Amino acid sequence: MSSEALMPVTATTPSNKQRLFMRYFTAILIDLVVLNLFVEYSDKVTIDSFTISLLAAILLQVLLKLTLAVEHRVADFFKKRPGGFMTFLRFFFAWLVLFGSKFVILEALTLAFGDKVRFDGRFHGIITLIVVILAMLVAEELVVRLYRKLGDGPRQA
């Protein structure tokens, strides 16, 4: 039985807004899973409730996307200017934005949730937060790669 046989006859191609919604919805759910796995298996991450972890996952996704947007704008600024020093500045400021944003994210989580969300460990939990965010990004990338791989291959009529 082909997958097309399981789809309703009236199935339509999703719009760009629907695709964007599913992209962020899936990313938030992935972040939620990763965050709660850290809560369950690490003594460095503490979140008071599932609801708080869901809200934290949403806030993290928004802040990560804003960070990437700022990093791209900074990189584009320096990319338009020729020279080796501008290339150095592009990478330096990209690193600065990406690294510095973790402090902003940690402060935003503290402002939004107080002690209901805690990252403990070295440097007031910043290292733990970086590990959690890297795990989220890796998990998101793995899901995207799996999704794309499932789309490849021969189509059956």
Is 78 among the domain residues?
yes
- Give the separation between CA 97 and CA 76, rounded to whole angstroms: 13
Range(s) of the domain holding residue 85: 18-147
Q: What is the mean pLDDT of the segment spanning 137-153?
A: 86
> What pTM value is reported for the model?
0.76
pLDDT of 9 over the 80 cut: no
DSSP state of 156: P
Q: Is residue 156 part of a domain?
A: no
Number of domains in the chain: 1
CA end-to-end distance (rounded Å), the chain: 11
Residue-level pLDDT at 32: 95
Residue 12 lies in a domain: no
Res 113: pLDDT: 93
